[in-house]
Amino acid sequence: MTEKEFRRLSSIYGADISRWPNTVQITAGRWLGDHPEARRDLRAVDEFDRLLIGAAPQIGTERVERIVRRAVVRLAGNGMPQESFAVALAGGRDWRWTSQGAVYLGLFILGCAANTAVRLLSAQTPFDLLFATNISLPLGG
């Protein structure tokens, strides 16, 4: 490690070498051992680090608890977590709902098919045929 590299890393990550990237910690420690004069510079860097760390927001337990409560209350007004479309179609992660989901889906498809069939059979004009096959209105009159 060169002095330039050591200075670069200390100006980014601060004086605590244990917080530098894992790959350079050992070589940086050795370099520091061989260059005691660099310790003086690191002391000033450490002072700056402490100022930054000291500026961290103080988050009290009461505040944390208040926000957790708010989130839980808000949750009560929400539905189930969103699933991906495929997982949702399959009844979610809880596979016991799969059979029920399949029954409802089957009934829906059967209803759409029956409705389309009735409209096709009762069609009297080409427009009626067109509307009868419009699948965007499967349950419409």
Q: Does 71 bind other proteins (CB under 8 A)?
A: yes
**Would you say 92 and 83 are in contact if contact means Cβ atoms under 8 Å apart?**
yes
User: 3-class SS at 125?
Assistant: coil
Q: How far is the CB of 2 from other proteins (least distance, A)?
A: 14
Give residues 33-52 in contact with other proteins (rule: CB under 8 A): 40-45, 47-49, 51-52
Shortest distance in whole angstroms from residue 87 CB to other proteins: 6
Q: How far apart are CA 76 and CA 65, in angstroms?
A: 17
| Phi, psi at 99, each rounded to 5° | -65, -40
Q: Please select the residue that binds other proteins; options are 2, 34, 60, 62, rule is CB under 8 A.
A: 60
For residue 34, which amino acid is it?
A: D
Task: Report the alpha-carbon distance of residue 13 to residue 63 in Å, rounded.
Answer: 31
Per rule CB under 8 A, is residue 63 in the interface with other proteins?
Answer: yes
With binding defined as CB under 8 A, does residue 135 bind other proteins?
A: no
CB of 110 to other proteins, least distance (A): 28
Q: Distance between CA 10 and CA 16 in Å, rounded?
A: 8
| Residues near other proteins (CB under 8 A) | 7, 10-14, 19-21, 40-45, 47-49, 51-60, 63-68, 70-72, 74-76, 78, 80-84, 87-88, 92-94
